Amino acid sequence: MTLEILSTNRAVAEAVKLAKPQVIPVYPITPQTSISEYLAQFVANGELEAEYIRVESEHSAISACVGASAAGARVFTATSSQGLALMHEILFVAAGLRNPIVMANANRSLSAPLSIWNDHQDSIAERDSGWIQVYVESAQEAFDSILISYKVSENKKVLLPSMVCLDGFILTHTVEPVEILPKDEVNNFLPEYEPEHAILDPEKPMSLGTFTDPNYYMEARYQIEEATQRSKKIIEKVNKEFHETFKRKYNFIEEYRCEDAEIVLVAMGSLCSTLKELVDEFRKEGKKVGLLKVRVYRPFPHKEISKAIKNADKIAVLDKDITFSMGGALYTDIKAKIRDKEIYNFILGLGGRDITPQNIKEIIEKTEKPEKDITWIGLKEES
Amino acid sequence: MEIGATVKEPGSTRRNKTGTWRTFKPILDKEKCIECDNCILFCPDACISPEYEINYDYCKGCGICAEECPVKAIKMERER
């Protein structure tokens, strides 16, 4: 095993190089930019044989992805925040046309006020687009998730696009040891994409993205729902195959000292690393705290979550996003599916606000002695 | 339905019977008709044959044929 010391953005680019997309339309935006720069370098060096399209906006980037994917190519793009928001319209097209595009989204807050720092609002705002969403905790997980996502998305029973979400700066610009998997083993794990339902071939003429009247539209939407439901089994299967081949195990969720925990913290992304450390500290103090990391957010793994928290008395859901007047997205989802638990929500880390051990201690206290359902953590006193 | 609502055969638009949009239906009284062909020439959807048969699969009921008929042989009746 060779470990390299790489930023998460570099790790993503290395994974993309191994996945060998034929078309890469991408527009730079902080904090994703270095992914696009590394990929441009790989293409210029001849390390990656791909059409690198320098588009004029993110709307064009994802549009070019849809076109190339509809022609039968494996494609990749990356974006962040305002860029993802500009893609909004075409994200739904990609899912509707069942284009197995894989995208990396460097999670960054949305304007206004303008901020380049991390939270999850950008990708959460796209949760209904029909894309599979995965939130990663480390550079290695980002690397592995790109390869897993291609295999899941391109599965004939799925054919949905995937978004790998990595926390801006906290992950994107942080350097960690990463195992770059061997080329031949990745080729075996992820063979070339063989398009059937959408391909540019004069022998097989077809129309894509046609107008549908009310006789057809609803069935097309229902197909996306069915594919999303089916994707659960495929994700499980691909995770298993990845584990057997590369010895790293991924699941919809990750449980950390949950089995006997009285309070379970639920969170997504890089925050989970901090929380694991703190869970250990709480345990030393005799507090039975556990962590449940949600890795796959769409399809939503409510059965797995329900099972993982079955022994807990109280649940604290930590969200780096807000559905105004309703709490965070993870909280509202868990509340909708799990009825028999005391669940509290904590909004934190918006626009890159630091999340400190003190904040987490406050969350535990407020879960033990709750005052309200939804609490914003780390607000300055003057506000 | 194909995956992604893909259409894999050409000419599928013909299956889209736009006549369902119709609110008023033109009825031709062949006894009154003087075979001037005005209705055929003016129909924007080419829905009237040289034999003066109206194709209700595509006729949207615009009523231009009834308006242009010099002997009022076409009546517009509300669809039920």
Return the CA Rg of chain A. Answer: 21
Query: Residue A125 sits in a domain of what CATH number?
Result: 3.40.50.970
The DSSP line for B58-76 is: T-----HHHHH-TT--EEE
- Domain co-membership, A115 together with A231: yes
User: Which chain A positions have a beta carbon within 8 Å of B1's beta carbon?
Assistant: 216, 219-220, 223
Give the minimum alpha-carbon distance from A197 to chain B in angstroms, rounded to a whole number: 6
Amino acid at A187: N
Chain A residue with Cα closest to B4: A97
**CATH assignment of the domain containing A327:** 3.40.50.920
Give Cα A123 distance to the centre of its chain.
8
Domain total of chain A: 2
- At A134, the amino acid letter reads V
Q: Does domain B26-80 have CATH number 3.30.70.20?
A: yes
Percent of chain B at pLDDT > 70 equals: 100
Angle between the N-to-C axes of helices A357-368 and A271-284, in degrees from 0 to 180, rounded to the nearest 10: 60
Q: In 10 A of CB A182, how many CB atoms? A: 13
Query: Does B10 lie at the interface with A, CB-CB under 8 angstroms?
Result: yes
Q: CB distance from B49 to chain A under 8 Å? A: no
State phi, psi for A342 to the nearest 5 degrees: -85, 115
pLDDT digits (tens, 9 = 90+) for B45-61: 999 999 999 999 999 99
Interface probe, candidates B3, B9, B20, chain A, greatest A C-beta count within 10 A: B3
**B2 vs A197: CB contact, 8 Å cut-off?**
yes
Q: How far is B76 from chain A (nearest CA, A)?
A: 26
The verdict on A146 and A185 lying in the same domain is yes
- Domain assignment present for residue A137? The answer is yes
- In a domain, residue A113? The reply is yes
What was the pLDDT predicted at A2?
83
A381 within some domain: no
Asked if the C-beta of A207 comes within 8 angstroms of chain B's C-beta atoms, the answer is yes
Q: Which of A217, A246, A275 is the last residue of a domain?
A: A246
Shortest distance, CA B41 to any CA of chain A (angstroms): 29
If asked whether residues A324 and A233 sit together in one domain, one would say no
Decide: A312 and A266 in contact? Cβ < 8 Å: no
pLDDT for the residue A382: 65
| A199/A261 same-domain check | no
A-chain residues near B8 (CB < 8 A): 204-206
* Share in percent of chain B as helix, strand, coil (round to 5): 25, 15, 60
Please name which of A83, A79, A67, A80 lies closest in space to residue A23, comparing C-alpha atoms.
A67
Low-confidence ranges of chain A (pLDDT < 50): none
Last residue of a domain, one of A246, A277, A312: A246
Contacts for A93 with CB less than 8 Å, ≥ 6 apart: A66, A209
- H or E stretch covering A91: helix A81-96
Given CB atoms, is B11 within the 8 Å cutoff of chain A? Answer: no
CB-CB contact of A174 with A125 (8 Å): no
Chain centroid, CA A262 distance in Å? 28
Q: Establish, for the pair of chains A and B, how many residue pairs have beta carbons separated by less than 8 Å.
A: 42
Does residue A383 lie within any of the structural domains?
Answer: no
- ipTM for the whole predicted complex goes beyond 0.85: no
A230 touches B: beta carbon within 8 Å: no
Q: Which of B3, B7, B10 has its CB closest to that of A98?
A: B3
Tokens for A319?
Answer: 């969200």
What does the block give as tokens for A180? Answer: 């770059």
Residue A273 included in any domain: yes
A220·B5 Cβ contact <8 A: yes
Query: In the numeric block, which tokens belong to residue B76?
Result: 């517009």
pTM of the model: 0.91
Q: Is residue A382 part of a domain?
A: no
Instruction: Find the helix or strand (DSSP H, E) in which A266 lies.
Output: strand A263-267
φ and ψ of A226, to 5 deg: -65, -40
Structural domain spans, chain B: 26-80
- The chain B residue lying nearest A100, using CA atoms, is B4
Residues A220 and A287 grouped into a single domain = no
A62 within some domain: yes
Mean pLDDT of B8-17: 84
Note which residues in 90-109 of chain A have CB less than 8 A from chain B. Answer: 96-99
What pLDDT does residue A211 have?
87
Q: What angle do CA A273, A130, A155 make, to 5 degrees?
A: 85
Contacts (Cβ under 8 Å, ≥6 apart) of A275: A256, A265, A267, A291, A293, A318, A360
Instruction: Report the distance separating Cα A364 and Cα A161, nearest Å.
Output: 37
Domain that holds residue A327: 253-376
Band (pLDDT 50/70/90 cuts) for residue B9 is confident
